[in-house]
Amino acid sequence: MPKENPGTASVDLLNLLNFLRVTKCHLVGSAAGCQIAIDFALSNPDRLYSLTLACGVGGIQDPDYVKMAESIRPPGYDQMPAAFRELSPSYRAANPAGTEKWAELERAAVTGNRFGQSNANTIVWANIEKMTVPVLLIGGDSDLGVAPPMLRIFASHLKNAELVLVPEAGHSVYWEQPAFFNRTVLGFIARHTT
């Protein structure tokens, strides 16, 4: 994808689903992928059975929310080691081998070629409040980047939301507690198959 025209990720996702002839699906977004998932849901609600937002509620542009989100992260937060930002202290202490494996994957995944795609929609509370698709918000109660109050605020703007906070988990719930994460997401999907 060219830097001068990166496109729109939610449109890329729609094109992929069309190419695969998937008319309706359960969409799961994690971390930064939540912004893409929200944008897709706003543009294509009829294509979704459900939406899961794991450890992220990205893209909200309402000034009060942006200010609050920025205020919980101290100066230099983005320069802190990724494993510190994204894995809970409980996980890092109990599972040094898992922490190192996560860090290896994270180093391999970051290419240095990060530039953003635009959204198809303006992601503000007024638009979020129009969403009717069932939404699961799942996050860690030790997430430094998307703290539980942020998820609660997001849930309060949805008509059809479930909120699950995972004890002693950080920003990578799926990695730290995969059995809990899978059970929760699959149970939610099973309840919203039509």
Per residue in 142-170, pLDDT (tens digit) is 999 899 999 999 999 999 999 999 999 99
Tell me if 120 is assigned to some domain: no
pLDDT band at 114 (very low <50, low <70, confident <90, very high): low
Tell me if 137 is assigned to some domain: yes
User: Number of folded domains in the chain?
Assistant: 1
Tell me if 150 is assigned to some domain: yes
Distance from the Cα of residue 124 to its chain's centroid: 16
- For 165, residues 6+ apart whose C-beta sits below 8 A from its C-beta are 138, 139, 140, 141, 148, 151
Instruction: Give the tens place of pLDDT for each residue, 26-78.
Output: 999 999 899 999 999 999 999 999 999 999 987 899 999 999 888 888 889 88
Tell me if 146 is assigned to some domain: yes
Q: Give the CA count within 13 Å in the CB-facing half-sphere of 19.
A: 6
C-beta separation of 165 from 142 below 8 A: no
Rg (CA), the chain: 17
Q: In this predicted structure, what is the pLDDT of residue 194?
A: 77
Strand residues in 38-129 grouped as ranges (E): 48-54
Please tell me whether the overall predicted TM-score, pTM, comes out greater than 0.95 for this model: no
Question: 100 pLDDT exceeds 90?
Answer: yes
| Sole residue written with tokens 């998820």 | 151
What is the domain range of residue 166?
10-111+129-190
Whichever domain contains 20, its CATH number is 3.40.50.1820
Question: 113 pLDDT exceeds 60?
Answer: no
